Amino acid sequence: MDSGSCCNNIVLIGFMGSGKSSVGAALARSLSRVLLDCDTLIEQTESLRIAEIFAKEGEAGFRQKERALAEWLAHNVRNAVIATGGGLPIFYENIQNLGAVVYLKADFDTIHARLSREERAKRPLFADASNARALYEQRAQIYAARAHHIIDTDKMGDSGGIHDIASAIVARLESKGISQ
């Protein structure tokens, strides 16, 4: 598999609540890059929260917006850190065209414990924990298959975890000769 260094972007994938936005911010700061958070970009473009888009247009409508954003990013963005939504690598099979894809792997119980009730409420597909767990199980193998690199965030611990994860990503990419 290509290392995904075509455009020198670092693309973070993983399940909802796996830390893509938080780790992305730390990673972008440490590498002096811009962070592009896909969910935030869609919310800003649509002037609606993700939950409102789901309510108004359904998941299919949201996925169309997500795919269009991914295509735009693939053609127009270089040297950025891109934090995807949890479904983007599932529904956009060309995720590797965006750059070096890093899967932030965390088990479901870890993710559930990290997210407050308010955070879970913001995620339409996390409304029911048993359905969310089933979705997690379906997606985990796809994330692993589409990633160039896998970082097991469960092993990072809670104190300083975000910065530890960002450092692990930098070390992994450096070890593979991917320029920063």
Summarised one tens digit per residue, pLDDT across range 14-63 is 998 899 999 999 999 999 999 999 999 999 999 999 989 999 999 999 99
pLDDT digits (tens, 9 = 90+) for 139-180: 999 999 999 999 998 876 554 588 899 999 999 998 877 755
Check whether 1 has a pLDDT greater than 50.
no
3-state SS class at 12: strand
Residue type, 151: I
The CA–CA distances, whole Å, from 61 to 54, 66, 72, 144 equal 7, 9, 17, 26
Region 106-135 average pLDDT: 83
Structure tokens belonging to residue 17:
């609540």
Per-residue model confidence (pLDDT) at position 104? 96
DSSP 8-state code for residue 154:
G
Per-residue model confidence (pLDDT) at position 103? 97
Per-residue model confidence (pLDDT) at position 156? 66
pLDDT digits (tens, 9 = 90+) for 32-42: 999 999 999 99
Q: Tell me which of 95 and 7 has the higher pLDDT.
A: 95
Q: How far apart are CA 144 and CA 103, in angstroms?
A: 7
Region 62-74 average pLDDT: 94
The label of the residue with tokens 């992994």 reads 172
Per-residue model confidence (pLDDT) at position 16? 87
Per-residue model confidence (pLDDT) at position 159? 45
- Output Rg (C-alpha) for the chain, integer angstroms: 15
Nearest alpha-carbon partner for 90 in 128, 112, 59, 113: 59
Q: How far does the chain reach from its first CA to its final CA, in angstroms?
A: 20
Alpha helix stretches (DSSP H) within the chain: 20-31, 38-46, 50-76, 88-91, 108-114, 117-121, 129-146, 161-175
